[in-house]
Every structure is written in C-alpha cells, then in structure tokens.
Amino acid sequence: MFHPTVFDNLKVAFENELYDQDNLDGRILITGRKDIWDMAVMDREFSVSFRLTETEWPTAELKLAAPLKELAAEILEQEGTVPACGLRVLFHMNIAEAEAERSCAAIEACLCHIWQPENKPIQTLSSVYGDDPAVLLRHTAEISFSRRINEEQMEDIPELVAHIVATLVALREEPLLQLEPLL
C-alpha cells in the first residue's frame, strides 16, 4: 500500500486550504497548478498560483519542494533524518520602469512589514526584448524560508495563506505600482 510522504501530505493540506478560499469563500481565484516530478534528478515540486477574485494583478505563487535526498530518507526510513520540504512564496506583478526603484523599495517595505522575514525578499525585474521598456517591467518578489517545513507545521497553513492574501491586498493598494497585465 502507498504511504504518502511529508511532501504529499503538505501538498494536500495546501490544496485544501487554497481551494476552500477559492470555492467556498470566493476570496481568491486559483489560476494555475503544477505537480512536477523531475525525472532527471528525482525531485518533486508543487506550485499553485492564485490572485484576488476582484483583480488580475498581482498574483501569488506558493512553491513546495522536496529533493530526492529528503524523499529517499523518508521512504527508506533512515534513522536520524527528519523529512521536510522547502517552501517559497512568490508575488508577480508589473511595474513602470520609470518608477522601478521607488516601486521596489515600496514592495520590499510591504513584504517586510507583513512577513518580517529572516532573509531579505529577493526581487527580480525583467522585460522582453523588443517590448517598449518605457511601459512595464515584469516583477517577481520572493519570500524564502530558511527552515524546512514538515507535518508539524500543518496548523500554520491557514495563517500562511492569510499572510499571502494580505500581501496581495497590500500590493494591490500600493499607489507606486502599475498593476495591469502586459499585452
């Protein structure tokens, strides 16, 4: 009989919380879901993307990852190991190039206020060659967690999702951000 791993159990718990927020509460809209088994390195990754129901931007993406070493240790019940997964939360939006420096500072302040992260959020700006760079840049802000999570943190999942939703609301209200989709 198949015994679910910590990764499987956390994935289901995140899905339950997020789909309840989508289907029952109507607060968010799930826009994407990936469950990847990377056969080249035997890693697993689950991601789910979503946004507030009343707006298209910004979007959030929750990523849960388990490398082969963690999965094998759990399945083989290796003594002295504690199975766990990595967790990252990303926020995607578009910002005006002319306001990029001020917008990034505002985004960092917003993320640090809500999350109080151990590590500074990582922000990445990009554009497509040939697009009018004076218009919008694609922006991704990432919150990463220095500790790995396991089933002992299951009770924290509703609070984590509430933080993500609060961040989406705060980013949507930030006047420095141009939150319209790129065409």
* Within a domain: 95: yes
* Within a domain: 85: yes
Full residue range of the structural domain in which residue 135 is found: 6-173
Q: Give φ, ψ of 122 to 5 degrees.
A: -95, 125
* Within a domain: 119: yes
The residue among 58, 7, 53, 11 whose CA lies nearest residue 30 is 53
CB atoms within 10 A of CB 152: 10
Radius of gyration of the chain (CA): 18
Question: What are 61-109's pLDDT values in tens digits?
Answer: 999 999 888 888 878 788 888 889 999 999 999 888 878 899 999 999 9
> Per the structure, how many domains does the chain have?
1
* Band of pLDDT at residue 182, cut at 50, 70 and 90: very low
Position 150 scores a pLDDT of: 93
* Within a domain: 58: yes
Position 177 scores a pLDDT of: 57
Q: What is the residue-averaged pLDDT of the chain? A: 88
Percentage of the chain surpassing pLDDT 70? 92
